[in-house]
Amino acid sequence: MKKTIQLLLLLTFVSIFCATVFSQKDKEQNKYKYRTLSEITLLNRENTAEILRKSKIEEKNDFISFDLFYSRVRLQFIGNPRPVSSDHKELIKTWTKLQNVDEKITNLYENEFLFKECDKEYWIPMQKKVGEAILKEVKTDNMITLFVINIGGRRAAMSKEYNWLFLSTEFEK
């Protein structure tokens, strides 16, 4: 009888623990809204327009987002991993400093992968383990859902337009 009660208590504890872990993952994923990358850039442009108007835009090459726009986006996986570009590394470094992000997190982004949304291509840095998984699980040209945050943008040379940078935290087939 005593062993049965202990077993029931153990099973109850394990059930509660598992439910808590799974609900935290669901809660984390629920903050990611379904959007397109184009939509995020428009939202970001609307949010930053006032700030950029008040500043001398010709002096601003980088812009760091205050709203990360946690998003789920549907993209075509082109593949072609490469080391994170120097422009992206610099922007990530600036974001890390300004937003007080732990460098251990940003150091996980070693490679970026090419994705396509409609006719526009994006190089998106991925955490190392996510990048390894995507290469094993996803074929070139397949559509996937990517979980991304928007950390900011860098103004293209001789332009008023920004090239926005997204970081990927996860994906779903």
Q: What is the pLDDT of residues 29-82, one digit of tens each?
A: 689 999 999 998 888 766 666 666 665 555 567 878 878 999 999 999 998 899
What integer pLDDT is reported at residue 14 of this predicted model?
Answer: 42
Tell me the two tokens of residue 8: 């029931």
pLDDT tier, 113 (very low <50, low <70, confident <90, very high otherwise): very high
C-alpha distances out from residue 166 to 14, 21, 125, 149, 163, Å: 37, 27, 7, 5, 10
Distances (CA, A) of 83 to 65, 80, 86, 114, 139: 23, 10, 9, 11, 20
State the architecture of 33-172 in CATH terms: Beta Barrel (2.40)
